[in-house]
Chains A and B, each alone.
Chain A
Amino acid sequence: MAVEVVMPRMGWTMETGRLVEWLKHNGDTIEVGENLFTIESDKAVLEVEAIDSGILHIPPDAPTPDVDVKVGATMAYLLQPGEALPWQAAAPVTSAPFTPANEGNGHIAPIAAHPLPATASDSRKAAISPRARRVAREINVDWSTLSGSGKHGRIVERDVRAALRPSGPAVRATPLARRVAADAGIDLEELAASRLAAGASKHISRADVDAAAALKTPPLPSPAATPLTSLRRITAQRMATSAHTTAPVTLTTEADATELVELRTKIKSDVGSAPQPVPSYTDLLTRLVALALLDHPGLNATLQDDTIVLHTTVHIGIAVDTERGLMVPVVRDAHNKSVGQIAAETARLVEQTRIGRAAPDDLRGGTFTITNLGMYEIDAFTPIINLPECAILGVGRIVSRLELIDEMTEKVAVRKMMALSLTFDHRVVDGAPAARFLQQIKRWIEHPYAWVTR
């Protein structure tokens, strides 16, 4: 029996998936467990494996790459050797054409009402609705050249009517003129209208088209329009939802990161026993923030309908810039992990995410997010909260500056200052607790011993 290969649901929220590419070809013999195609869904690219065996048949109207496909929609069929496609099996039997030879033997040859294409790969004639066909006849439009706006490109009434601009004169052009005009991007209807207005004949020859092409100014380069990838669309949706539904407030401060920088420098230079990979500032901050959140559960909260859930575990999302766009892999239970463990895990997650191979579970379930723009020489900024979380920490660059370190003696020193931006959702948490949280982060950056001993 023909088995349908469908767009799988890879997570509860997944409604559509975008086909990235087929990993197998039409006609390939497929074993259970072999990867059939890859899809992009909910920020991850996933391989979809066959759950049945058979010969792969990808029908001509199957989804093409970069098209959104509803979960459950048929992508292809797996057939057994010699098995016909479901719709071909159901097709009426076509018998031999009616000829004088079989006229006399008393039986009537049935004739298929709708001859089907002999093979599924035959190109199909443009479909047109009966109504559109009637209207085309009534208003004298040649529909064979139209492209349809109905389902699967079917020509419907509006396409036929659009083809006949009520104000435009009927264009009479030689076939050569039409071809040259098409190549040169000349609108024959406009040309005919302008000639008519100038009192010239409405018959258009190649010379007329050439003359018009010479006059035509080169068009400005048009802005590149790219359809939204599903990642871009999800990001757009989530950012808009966050911007429209939260009550975001951003607090900024500066922390003296001199000791933190020293700490990292020492870890890095201690070649013998340094964890591999060497923890980044983001890794250090992940650990630091996770511990701080245990003291400030109000910031480690999510708003679900009318309930604020204060989480007892800390899952830190880390904003990562990839070729395909912003992704946020999640370090689970960051409060229970050492800096070394966190460094190893973020390295793996970021790599998986960058190449689009992160599992859906690696990309959700965070309770707090850190976004670091320090490498781009950004100081303070206003990050957007990653819903349903209630706060996000923006990390700015570390910059060396002369700082007054003792008011009494007016002593200044070169210190390494780090800008911090905390955006929180005022619906969920108030300003003072958020400020206390940011203050603790500031203090811990300034005095790492206070948290590395925890």
Chain B
Amino acid sequence: MREMTFTNAAREGLAEEMARDPSIFVVGEGIGARGGNFNTTTGLYELYGPERLRDTPISERGFTGLCTGAAMTGARPVVDFMFLDFLLDGMGELINQTAKIQYMSDGRIPMPIVFRGSIGIVGASATHHSGNYYPIFTHLPGFRVVVPTTPRDAKGLLKTAIRSDDPVFFLEHKALLNSKGPVPEEEYLIPFGQAEIRLAGRDATVVAIAAMVNRTLEACAELAGEGIAIEVIDPRTLAPLDIDTILESVHKTGRLLIVDEDFAPSGIGAEIAAQVMALAFDDLDAPVMRLNGLHTPTPYSPSLEAAVIPNTKRIMEVIRDLLAE
């Protein structure tokens, strides 16, 4: 199978969808002739021009509201925030309008809109460009939240996001953008709410989010040398969350760790832990554990930045702690 980068695979998905459906258009800062800060739209301006690749001023709340209105009228906007941190200026529109329109209209008004942006702590981007934020959106009724980790998933999930009639956050971790992986030639879509078991094991289950999937797999490869077999689950979508795959794994292993670069308090790990406790209490042989990034604004200094993110060594330590419970 051919190999592609995460970014190129996602862009191929966007291009295929734009070719299929003329009601799809992209809005954002520098996504026109420039092709996007993260090359999310490179080459598309030449194909579809300024009408469907609409550069904007720095006015997040404005274009978030405009695109919400466009989606109400049946268009399918893709709002490209570059860094997801910039979307925070549009929160009022997002939470009060975008998320609630379907409910307020008794389902008569659809909301087929995609919000995409880069997340994650990478390369001394400092605290205004390092947010993860997904628990904010999984907390709110009405949103879908997608965190792909492989090029194949990035393309298949973006196509599903664009075809969804619900508002979707498509969150691309910066550490993954240049990672390569196999991507099928033929068209495919990946449904929401289906986790992927990246590694099968019997001793403990680790649910890892976004870039932490790769870190966890590295840790598990080292532990495998000691005969420790960990099952690694990549949820791929956080809303909807495929809790069944996690429960099935916990039923097998009895032990669960959630590895998440994002903050622990009220985070996705807390949600998964609570659901597993409620639905599989009798399967747990040890307390559910979490390993998160430190609860602090992200430091700019590269050495301090490295200290706030869970690394492979730390993941190994916590897995050992979990097995010792």
Cα A130 to Cα B256 with chains together (Å): 13
A133 & B282 in contact (Cβ 8 Å cutoff): yes
B325 near A151 (CB under 8 angstroms)? Answer: yes
Closest to B277 in A: A130
How far is it, in angstroms, between the C-alpha of A154 and the C-alpha of B285 when the chains are bound?
10
Interface string of A119-144 (1 = CB under 8 A from B): 00000000001111110000000000
**Interface 0/1 of B244-259, CB less than 8 Å to A:** 0000000000100000
| Chain A residues within 8 Å of B284, by CB | 129-131
Known: A131-B254, A157-B254. A151 touches B285 (CB 8 A): no
CB of B322 to closest CB in A, whole Å = 10
Contact, CB under 8 Å: A131 / B285: yes
A150 touches B282 (CB 8 A): no
A209 contacts chain B at the CB level, 8 A cutoff: no
Contact A151 B282 (CB under 8 A): no
Tell me the bound Cα distance from A133 to B281 in angstroms: 10
B324: Cβ under 8 A from any A Cβ: yes
Q: How far is the CA of A66 from the CA of B92 in the complex (A)?
A: 60
Would you call A130 and B281 a contact (CB within 8 A)?
yes
Q: How far, in angstroms, from A133 to B286 measured CA to CA in the complex?
A: 12
Q: Is A156 an interface residue (CB 8 A)?
A: yes
How far apart are B271's CB and chain A's nearest CB, in angstroms? Answer: 19
Q: How far is the CA of A151 from the CA of B325 in the complex (A)?
A: 5
Closest to B283 in A: A131
Q: Using Cβ atoms and an 8 Å threshold, which residues of chain A touch B283?
A: 130-131, 134
CA distance A131 to B325 in the complex (A): 13
Q: How far is the CB of B314 from chain A (nearest CB, A)?
A: 16
A189-219 Cβ-contact flags toward B at 8 Å (1 or 0): 0000000000000000000000000000000
Contact A134 B286 (CB under 8 A): no
The one of A130, A133, A134, A156 in contact with B325, judged by C-beta atoms closer than 8 angstroms, is: A156
B324 contacts which chain A residues (CB < 8 A)? 150-151
Find out whether the CB atom of B325 lies under 8 angstroms from the CB atom of A157: no
**From A128, which residue of chain B is reached at the shortest CB distance?**
B285
| Most chain B CB inside 10 Å of its own CB: which residue of A129, A133, A150, A154 | A129
Smallest CB separation, A152 vs chain B (Å) = 9
Give the number of residues in B that approach A within 8 Å (Cβ atoms): 9
How far, in Å, is A205 (CB) from chain B's closest CB?
38
Q: For the complex, what is the distance from the CA of A276 to the CA of B65, rounded to whole Å?
A: 93
Instruction: Assess whether B282 is in contact with A156, with CB atoms less than 8 Å apart.
Output: no
Tell me the B307-325 residues at the A interface (CB within 8 Å). Answer: 324-325
Q: Nearest chain-A residue to B285 (Cβ)?
A: A131
How many Å lie between the Cα of A133 and that of B254 in the bound state? 12
A156 partner residues in chain B, CB cutoff 8 A: 254, 285-286, 325
Among the interface residues B281, B283, B285, B286, which one has the most CB atoms of the partner chain A within 10 A? Answer: B285
A129-B324 Cα distance, complex, nearest whole Å: 13
Instruction: Tell me, rounded to whole Å, the shortest Cβ–Cβ distance linking B285 to chain A.
Output: 4
Contacting residues of chain B (292-306) with chain A, CB-CB under 8 angstroms: none
| A132 contact set on B, CB distance < 8 A | 285
**Complex Cα gap A11–B242 (Å):** 49
**How far is it, in angstroms, between the C-alpha of A129 and the C-alpha of B254 when the chains are bound?**
10
Report the separation of the CA atoms of residues A134 and B286 in the bound assembly, to the nearest whole angstrom: 13
For residue A136, give the distance in angstroms from its CB to the closest CB of chain B: 11
Cα distance, A132 to B254, chains bound together (Å):
9
CB distance from B49 to the nearest CB of A (A): 60
A129–B284 CA distance with the chains assembled, in angstroms: 7
Docked Cα-Cα span, A154 to B283, in Å, equals 15
Least distance between A114 CB and chain B CB atoms (Å): 14
The closest CB in chain B to the CB of A138 belongs to B282
Contact A150–B325 (Cβ < 8 Å): yes
Residues of A within 8 A of B286 (CB): 129, 150-151, 156
Closest to B321 in A: A151
| Chain B residues in 8 Å Cβ range of A134 | 282-283
Q: Which residues of A contact B254 (CB under 8 A)?
A: 129, 131, 156-157
B289 to chain A: closest CB distance in Å? Answer: 11
B residues in contact with A130, CB < 8 Å: 281-285
* Measured CA separation A10–B285 after assembly (Å): 37
A130 to B282, CA, bound (A): 5
How far in angstroms is the closest Cβ of chain A from B245? 19
Q: Which residue of A lies closest to B282 (CB)?
A: A134
Closest B residue, CB atoms, query A133? B282
Distance, CA A134 to CA B254, complexed state (A): 11
Please provide the chain A residues from 157 to 189 with a CB less than 8 Å away from any CB of chain B in the complex.
157
Would you give the shortest CB distance from A155 to chain B, in whole angstroms?
10
Report the minimal beta-carbon distance from B200 to chain A, rounded to whole angstroms: 19
Residue of A131, A132, A133, A150 with highest tally of chain B CB at under 10 A: A131
Bound state CA distance, A151 and B286, in angstroms? 9
The smallest beta-carbon distance between A237 and chain B, in angstroms, is 20
Per-residue interface assignment for chain A, residues 402 to 446, with 1 indicating a CB less than 8 Å from any chain B CB and 0 otherwise: 000000000000000000000000000000000000000000000
Can you show 25 pairs from A to B with CB atoms below 8 A apart?
A: A129-B254, A129-B286, A130-B281, A130-B282, A130-B283, A130-B285, A131-B254, A131-B282, A131-B284, A131-B285, A132-B285, A134-B282, A134-B283, A150-B286, A150-B324, A150-B325, A151-B286, A151-B324, A154-B325, A156-B254, A156-B285, A156-B286, A156-B325, A157-B254, A157-B285
What is B's interface to A at a CB cutoff of 8 Å? 254, 281-286, 324-325
Nearest first, the 4 A-B pairs at minimum CB distance are: A134-B282, A131-B285, A129-B285, A157-B285
- Taking A131-B282, A131-B285 as known contacts, 4 extra A-B pairs with beta carbons closer than 8 A to each other, sorted by chain A number, are A129-B286, A130-B281, A134-B282, A150-B325
